[in-house]
Chains A and B, each alone.
Chain A
Amino acid sequence: MGDVVESDILRHGAFEYIRIHDYSNYSLELFMAYDSVVIESNNRDFVEKLVRSIRTHNHTDVYLKPIFLLKSSKVEDPLINNLIDGVIFSIDQLELISDYVKQILLRIKDFVFVKSISLEAEIISRTINLMVSREKTELFAYLYLNSGLGYIYPEASIQFSPRDEHNLLSILDTAEQEGLFTSDFNDRIYLCTNCETGILSYREVCPKCNSANSKAEDLVHHFSCAYVGPVSDFKNAIDDELNCPKCNKYLNHIGVDYDKPSLLHTCNKCGHKYQDYHVKAKCITCHHDNDVENLLPRTIKNFYLTKKGRNVAYHGFISTSKDFNEIPGTVRFDVFKTMLEYEIERLKQNDATSNIAYLTISNAGELYSRIGIERQKILISEMIRILRKNLRSSDFIAFYSASTLILSLNDIPTKIANNILNDVVKITTMLLKKNFKNVEIHIETFATPLNIEFSHEIQLQQLIKRFETES
């Protein structure tokens, strides 16, 4: 948490802007208190990093924040350009943008934020929220060097690290199937079979040993003596004439006394001679050398938001129809709230301890994109099954987000509630380890006794605040 210098709080009309320099000390949560962020920097990396961390922030009050760039030149970078709301050249221009800021903030006010149970749905709704708040209807793909695919969809791709960006393509396809987008063709790309990134280096290699170290020469056929050999056989040290090593005649006229029927490559590593080189695509990311025939083809489309898609921002989007509609063993979040309210009422009459708790996968983004959406669902169902086995029927569970469960553990001491949660963590971690190599899961849990003095709303908010600041 940095201190805000008074001079960096800019006021114009009803709005307060916070100005950030590349030397500023700031925390993202700080932005919640202001209506808009003004970044004053010519340092591209700094700008990108800041814009990225704002737009990927968990809190709606941060990630939808209007962002302006205060600098002397226009922005060329498609990622930054699509994620900021404008460029001003001096502070005086705040006046020009205040109306625009007002519209954005007004639209956001009408949004309904629903925490979804799947990463898929969460990515879709975050992308749409960002677009609708800016009245954008087009989600275009831009050629981008620092992308894992070579293409980015700025509003959506930032949710992923470059290595995991390929997951976005199927998510966007799902969104299209749900009728949230229409699309047209932009380009076709090919991805590494090992890591599904698209930055590849293509080389012609020897079909025997895969070495790219080779030389190519024309084969020359001398008609009158049927000699066939590379051009170099016909060259001499004295002049430019080509003469036949077999019959000593000069080659005069291509097509008349000689021709060049084919091109021959000679491998400098293994000596193999070949005509049909293999083309291999070496992955810059993971160094895997792909056979080009096996590369994974993907279509890059440009997407257009539909009316139904627009409604996602105003009504929320919990899951795609591909997700399970309701995971057995859980209740919906609003139902959870009501039940929690009743539990506090019950505690007021009984001398007992009940607890609320959370269980959150702190590396969910990374984990889910590693294991893929299908297995993510299996993992979640499995985790719920383990939980249900360790809990009693009077306890209840709800999804707060794709990575966080909220629990109410009733009629047990808090210490035991924590023990139960720790057991679940152990079992889940073991399960994951067994099924996925090289993938780690980090689960954090916390249980706290319900306080009958406070409303369920306040206690829930405190709990949520706790894990949001933790992660």
Chain B
Amino acid sequence: MDFIAQEVDYFFHYISEVGTSKLVRIFWFFVIFEFSRLFVIDFLALIFIFIKRKLTKKKRKEARRQLFLYNPLISIIVPGKNEGKHIFKLVSSLKEQTYKNYELIIVDDGSDDDTEQICKSLKKNNLIDVFIRNEVRGGKASGANTALRVAKGDFVIHLDADSSLDRDAIEQIITPFYENPDVGAVGGNVMVRNYKETLATTLQSYEYNDAISIGRMVASYLGVYRIISGAFGAFRRDALEQVQGWDIGPGLDGDITVKMRKVGYKVVFEDRAVCQTNVPSSFKNLTKQRLRWDKSLIRFRLRKHKDVFIPDENFSILNFLSFLENIFFTIILNIKWYIYIIDVVINFPGILGMILVMNFFLYSCSNAFKLLLFNFFRERKNSPIYIYFPFIPLMVLYHGYYLRIVRTVAYIKELFFKSSYKDEWNPEKTSIRAKQIGI
């Protein structure tokens, strides 16, 4: 502690001597990317969202009235392997829904545990409407497509088996379709159920609460929302059929969103449609998950859908911006961060310790500020925010170092070794084919 106190003391002494321009020169990364994004983009957008909601309250109410008037059938599809143990909890939360006209379709993608028995008994008791068992595993996309094939609803909600829903979640996620007929897909707000389980889950809950949830609200408002979480997303069935369902993953959540946007549908995020899910409880599994997510960014943005950058007759400025924003805030920013590190190491070797501590301090302040500020804009809170206070400094390490390093590893692996095709997440037979045709 002495060391840190000394450095802080030294820092204050230092800034009293150098001017503001020098400070910006040293902490440019924070000033440009963190500070500007927070205040210029996020905060302003949130205020606009807040005002817009107040102004369109009547429209929202009318959309909801129409939903209940037309009472469309909604197909809830849940593909998965070895998920039997979660199904009952899911079914219980569905039974509590304010919106009742739905069918539940479960696709058991080659489970080798007692999933089949569990589902069959639930089916017998009419808690599941359609149960399809695949003896051999085909992967998440084929499971979802199988369910889509038998779905009869006007809307399809894709759920992960270990999700459970707020009582009004279905009504909330479908309402946007009635607010705007151009909407083809709506992403739900995923919250962490097991946030108390381990340090890893608490940090992720913090992340979902702030960066992910707020980030998606802002992106949706700006028209550049990209990823409908597989845990909870709703689609117009005709739109899904138009894009011919899901393509092979990983990253199929982001992929289907892009496909929707390409054919001209609006994709929005609905923070009021809340689902809870369990996140990986160890850093090891979390790392695996994030490597998969980050690799898919390369695979889908830079390879499969690279045509978004090409100005032809299908060109859409919003899709272009969405990709650009995505690539900027992930890939470019990641590279810039290393540039920043190199910059300070070369140019300010003498005060390196001070810079590190100071960055840490700045980011902590920013985090604390965000935590409190964003709280005004959250309509539904997963957990009281005070439980996150002790973790504010840790989040700096989580965002600034842990996620960044994982991302770097993922990009290198995917860019140079196409390692996502080796991921066990997909059956080998499908990955081989996908690699051959370059998707």
Contacts and interface: CB of A to CB of B under 8 A. Distances in A.
Contacts of B139: 226
B116 to A, nearest CB: 10
Interface string A250-266: 00000111010110100
A155 to B, nearest CB: 43
B134 A225 contact: no
B123 A223 contact: no
B121 to A, nearest CB: 11
A225 B255 CA distance: 12
Contacts of B244: 225, 227, 245-246
Q: How large is the interface on B (under 10, 10 to 19, 20 to 34, 35 or more residues)?
A: 20 to 34
Contacts of B434: 223-224
A255 B429 contact: yes
Contact of B138 (A228, A245, A264, A271): A228
A411 to B, nearest CB: 69
A257 B432 CA distance: 9
Interface in B135-163: 135-136, 138-139, 141-142, 145-146, 148-150, 152
A225 B150 contact: no
B132 A264 contact: yes
A243 to B, nearest CB: 14
Interface residues of A, number: 26
Contact of B142 (A226, A256, A257, A272): A226
Contacts of B247: 225-226
Interface in A216-256: 219, 221, 223-230, 245-246, 255-256
Contacts of B132: 219, 262, 264, 275
Contacts of B141: 226
B248 interface: yes
B437 interface: yes
A262 B248 contact: no
Contact of A219 (B123, B149, B246): B149
Contacts of B152: 271
A226 B135 contact: no
Contacts of A255: 429
11 contacts: A224-B248, A225-B247, A228-B148, A246-B245, A256-B429, A257-B433, A259-B138, A261-B136, A261-B142, A264-B132, A275-B132
Interface of B: 110, 120, 123, 130-136, 138-139, 141-142, 145-146, 148-150, 152, 244-248, 429-430, 432-434, 436-437, 439
Given A223-B429, A261-B134, 19 more contacts: A219-B146, A221-B134, A221-B142, A221-B146, A223-B433, A223-B434, A226-B138, A227-B145, A228-B146, A256-B429, A257-B433, A261-B110, A261-B138, A262-B133, A262-B134, A262-B146, A264-B132, A275-B132, A276-B123
* 9 pairs of A and B residues whose beta carbons are closest in the complex: A226-B141, A261-B134, A224-B433, A228-B145, A273-B150, A223-B433, A223-B430, A246-B244, A228-B146
Interface of A: 207, 219, 221, 223-230, 245-246, 255-257, 259, 261-262, 264, 271-276
